[in-house]
Amino acid sequence: MSKWENVSMSVIRRMPRYYRFLTHLKQIGTTRISSKELSEIMGLTASQIRQDLNCFGGFGQQGYGYMVEQLQHEIGNILGISNAYKAILIGAGNLGQALALNMPFGSLGFELTGLFDNAPEKIGTKVGDLPVYDVRKLEDFCAREHPVMAIFCVPREAVETLSD
């Protein structure tokens, strides 16, 4: 029997929202928040927030509130996203580069570990801190690194060939 077996589906559905809001608060530098402040941001009641979080244990202190980073981490553990899962991006053109540089992979539970392209002028260059590898090395890279997600920024016709 799971320790969270009696948690209602409504509470479970709200947990990813808490995680997203707390991630945003952490990114803008908020260190502590009360259930009242969180309720105003999320459109829930402060009482509902306290009840939801109490289903998984006590995370805050009365009169003090919640430590944003700690609560975000705990909810990440509950959701199973506290570990970064490896992801790769195939296609280092404009869209691929924009995603690689601007997508908050870490806060979404992913680590971008490889970029691939077939254009000779892109292979060997860097996008941010990541080198662009030859797409012909994709199979070896995947066997070695075991990514769980691939993001395709290539023409539609190439996706099926590459995903095999």
SS3 content of the chain, % helix, strand, coil (to 5): 50, 20, 35
pLDDT on residue 4: 60
- pLDDT for 36-80, tens place per residue? 999 999 999 999 999 999 888 877 777 788 999 999 989 988 887
pLDDT bin (cut points 50, 70, 90) of residue 81 is confident
Domain ranges of the chain: 9-78, 85-163
Cβ contacts of 31 within 8 Å, gap of 6 or more: 67, 68, 69
What is the pTM for the complete model shown?
0.56
User: Does 1 have pLDDT greater than 50?
Assistant: no
Question: What's the half-sphere exposure (Cβ side, CA atoms, 13 Å) at 108?
Answer: 10
Superfamily (CATH H level) for 85-163 = NAD(P)-binding Rossmann-like Domain (3.40.50.720)
CATH fold of the domain at 9-78: Arc Repressor Mutant, subunit A (1.10.10)
- pLDDT for 114-147, tens place per residue? 999 999 999 999 999 999 999 999 999 999 999 9
- Sign of the torsion formed by the C-alpha atoms of 48, 51, 56 and 62: positive
